[in-house]
């Protein structure tokens, strides 16, 4: 059984203290659980905003595109519904149109609810909270363990090969970690079907790059890079 962790990103102090039930489970054969002998990720790191992606802009654009696609699908559904309601009275055939736009609820020509559109403003806020790049990172790499502290919050400890059930702003996910060469990789699989991968890797210039790759059922794929320099 995996352990369960509550995310400290936006939780109050009492909730951050609730971290329970640890039990390690092996990851797949392609994942390396052994810490590289010359891993050099440890240290204090500060975000280089000029060299990093603008997360707010990219998330806002991705959510806007998803909302536009949803509106197009809704127009198509209404078009098909109108075509099938030619023999129906006008008021019955069009009664749900205005309500659907305002509330996100889709109705057929008889007024039956057929779908509820995503809450895009709420999705945007959750993505911004989840994908937000901390200004300060502190990484401590030890054999079989890596601690990651973000913006002074309590550090998270990860044991490569262990699985964690974690609750954060984006939902509930099963998380596992491993080493891929000299890069440390976190993988989160959410109950919503979304997948998030975080990759921490040193560049040839000595900078640390954190790459977040998201595959979300609503917005599609999104990749964000945050560059850090030793402080």
Mind giving me the DSSP string for 190-203? ETTS-EEEEEEEE-
Helix, strand, coil distribution of the chain in percent, nearest 5: 25, 40, 35
Report which of 190, 191, 209 is spatially closest to residue 200, judged by C-alpha positions: 209
- Give me the residue spans of the domains in the chain: 3-52+133-230, 67-118
Whole-number Å distance between alpha carbons of 89 and 140:
69
pLDDT at 158: 96
Please give the pLDDT value at position 82: 65
Contact 35, 141 (CB under 8 A): yes
Q: What is the pLDDT of residue 137?
A: 98
Fold topology of 3-52+133-230: Lipocalin (2.40.128)
* pLDDT for res 81: 66
The pTM is what?
Answer: 0.72
pLDDT of residue 203: 94
pLDDT of res. 112: 52
DSSP-assigned states of every residue in 135-157: SEEEEEEETTEEEEEETTSPPEE
Which residues fall within 8 angstroms of residue 11, CB to CB, at 6 or more apart? none
Grouping H, G, I as helix, E, B as strand and the rest as coil, residue 66 is helix
**Is there a contact between 151 and 16 (Cβ–Cβ < 8 Å)?**
no
pLDDT at residue number 39: 80
Mean pLDDT by 10 residues, the chain (231 residues): 51 40 38 80 97 97 95 84 57 37 46 67 94 96 94 95 91 95 96 96 96 96 97 93
* Per-residue pLDDT, 107: 53
Residue 27 gets which letter from DSSP? -
Residue spans of alpha helices (H) in the chain: 13-16, 55-84, 90-94, 97-103, 120-131
How many residues are present in the chain? 231
Strand partners, 142: 145
């Amino acid at each position: 059984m995996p352990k369960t962790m509550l995310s400290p990103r936006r939780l109050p102090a009492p909730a951050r203290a609730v971290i329970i039930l640890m039990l390690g489970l092996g990851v797949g054969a392609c994942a390396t659980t052994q810490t590289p002998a010359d891993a050099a990720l440890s240290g204090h790191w500060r975000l280089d905003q000029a060299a990093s992606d603008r997360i707010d802009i990219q998330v806002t654009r991705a959510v806007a595109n998803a909302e536009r696609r949803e509106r197009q699908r809704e127009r198509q559904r209404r078009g098909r519904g109108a075509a099938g309601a030619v023999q129906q009275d006008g008021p019955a055939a069009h009664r749900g149109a205005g309500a659907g736009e305002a509330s996100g609820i889709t109705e057929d020509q008889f007024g039956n609810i057929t779908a509820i559109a995503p809450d895009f403003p709420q999705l945007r806020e959750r993505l911004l909270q989840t994908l937000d790049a901390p200004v300060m990172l502190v990484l401590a790499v030890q054999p079989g363990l890596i601690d990651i502290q973000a913006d002074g919050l309590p550090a998270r400890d990860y044991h490569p090969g262990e699985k964690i059930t974690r609750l954060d702003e984006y939902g509930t996910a099963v998380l596992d970690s491993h080493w891929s060469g000299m890069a440390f990789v976190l993988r989160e699989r959410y109950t919503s079907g979304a997948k998030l991968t975080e990759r921490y890797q040193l560049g040839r210039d000595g900078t640390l790059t954190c790459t977040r790759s998201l595959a979300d059922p609503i917005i599609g794929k999104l990749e964000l890079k945050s560059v850090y320099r030793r402080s």
